[in-house]
């Protein structure tokens, strides 16, 4: 039985416009850009993006460590993450707590994210529904269109085949994922 997709995922152009709809100068804009990058370019689930701690991000190795897996960071996400990291330091936020936080270092709520993304979409004049999981799906679709192997995509976004045969399929290690992510083209 074939699976049909009801709607197309968010396009790379729309995702890039969403990223650019957040200011590259203000503190909240830099934070929101980092959030969009974690969802769209790294492929994190919304809860994962909000739970990532400052210490979980290794910018040198290009890896984010999550409780159940590791994910590679591509070059675009790395630039956005570095900008927010520098602003966090300017704000006096220490290396503890959530990476995506209020300007006082407190965790952001998922409700904030649900309200933020449509606001950014309106600002960017995007006329399709924008939501956090849609950005994650866009990451996986873009990786597939870029020709990355299924096992790299599955490992990056943290999904595994649920069939009995799934345990026999190849899996990607973190080094392979990081190489693949850092080689990804930057859209736009």
Structure token pair of residue 50? 């909000």
CA distance 69 to 82: 22
The CATH architecture of the domain made up of 12-182 is: Orthogonal Bundle (1.10)
CA distance 60 to 116: 30
**Selection from 122, 136, 141, 181 nearest residue 38 by Cα:** 136
Task: Name the residue ranges covered by the structural domains of the chain.
Answer: 12-182
Centre a 10 Å sphere on the Cβ of residue 78 and count the other Cβ atoms it contains.
Answer: 19
User: pLDDT tens track of the chain, all 188 residues?
Assistant: 444 445 567 999 999 999 999 999 999 999 999 999 999 999 999 999 999 999 999 999 999 999 989 999 999 999 999 999 999 999 999 888 899 999 999 999 999 999 999 999 999 999 999 999 999 999 999 999 999 999 899 999 998 766 666 666 667 888 988 999 999 999 87
Q: pTM score, two decimals?
A: 0.91
Cite the DSSP H helix spans in the chain.
12-21, 27-40, 46-51, 75-90, 110-123, 132-145, 150-157, 174-182
């Amino acid at each position: 039985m074939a699976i049909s997709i009801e709607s197309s995922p968010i396009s790379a152009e729309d995702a890039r416009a969403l990223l650019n709809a957040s200011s590259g100068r203000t503190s909240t804009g830099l934070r929101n850009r980092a959030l969009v990058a974690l969802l769209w370019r790294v492929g994190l689930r919304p809860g994962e993006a909000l739970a990532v701690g400052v210490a979980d991000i290794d910018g040198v190795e290009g890896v984010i460590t999550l409780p159940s897996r590791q994910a590679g960071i591509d070059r675009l996400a790395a630039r956005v993450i570095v900008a927010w990291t520098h602003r966090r330091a300017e704000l006096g936020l220490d290396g503890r707590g959530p990476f995506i936080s209020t300007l006082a270092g407190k965790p952001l709520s998922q409700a904030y994210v649900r309200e933020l993304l449509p606001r950014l979409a309106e600002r960017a004049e995007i006329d399709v529904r924008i939501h956090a999981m849609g950005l994650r799906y866009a990451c996986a679709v873009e990786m597939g269109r870029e020709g990355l192997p299924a096992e790299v995509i599955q490992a990056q976004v943290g999904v595994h085949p649920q069939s009995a045969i799934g345990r026999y399929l190849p899996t990607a290690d973190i080094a392979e994922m990081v190489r693949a992510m850092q080689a990804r083209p930057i859209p736009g």
